[in-house]
Structure 1
Amino acid sequence: MDLRDSKSRLILIVVALGAALVVAVASCSGGGGDDDTSRGAGTSESAPEDDGAGEPQDEETPEGDENSDEPAQALAEVTGEESITLTVTRAEREAGGFLTIEGTLRNDGSEMWFASAWAGQEEELAENGFSMAGASLVVPEEGKRYLILRDTTGRCLCTGFGNGIEAGATVSWFAQFPEPEAGSTQVNFQVGNMPPATIEIR
Structure 2
Amino acid sequence: MALAVLLSACGGGDDGGGGDNAGKEPEKAGSASSAPAEQPTADTDSGMTVPDTTKTLATINGSDGFQFVVHSAVRDQGGFLTISGTLKNTTSKLLVAKAQWSGTEINVTRTGPSFAGVTLVEKNEKKRYYVLRDTEGYPLTTTGVTSVKAGESVAVFAQFPAPPANVTQVDLQIPLMPVATIEIS
> Counterpart of 1:98?
80
* 1:124 aligned counterpart, secondary structure: helix
> Counterpart of 1:147?
130
> Counterpart of 2:55?
73
**What amino acid maps onto 1:162 in structure 2?**
V
RCO greater where, 1 or 2, for CA within 8 Å and sep 6 or more? Answer: 2
Q: Verify the 8 A CA contact 2:121 2:127 in the aligned structure 1.
A: yes
**What amino acid maps onto 1:178 in structure 2?**
P
TM-score normalised to the size of structure 2?
0.67
The Cα shift of 1:86 comes to 0.5
Q: What do the CA deviations read for 1:73-117 (whole angstroms, capped 9, x no partner)?
A: 100111014111111010011121110110101012312322222
* Aligned mate of 1:199, from 165, 182, 185: 182
Q: Report which of the two has the higher share of helix.
A: 1
Structure 1: runs of 5+ lacking an equivalent: 1-63, 65-69
**What amino acid maps onto 2:83 in structure 1?**
I
* Aligned mate of 2:161, from 178, 182, 185: 178
Structure 2: runs of 5+ lacking an equivalent: 1-43, 45-51
Larger Cα-atom Rg = 1
The within-5 A match list for 1:10-29 is none
> Counterpart of 1:126?
109
The Cα shift of 1:167 comes to 1.7
User: How many equivalent pairs are there?
Assistant: 135
Q: Verify the 8 A CA contact 1:118 1:129 in the aligned structure 2.
A: no
**What amino acid maps onto 1:156 in structure 2?**
P
Q: Report which of the two has the higher share of strand.
A: 2
The Cα shift of 1:129 comes to 2.3
Q: Verify the 8 A CA contact 1:78 1:195 in the aligned structure 2.
A: yes
Please, what is the CA RMSD of the aligned residues? 1.9
Q: What do the CA deviations read for 1:152-184 (whole angstroms, capped 9, x no partner)?
A: 222111111433211211111111000101111
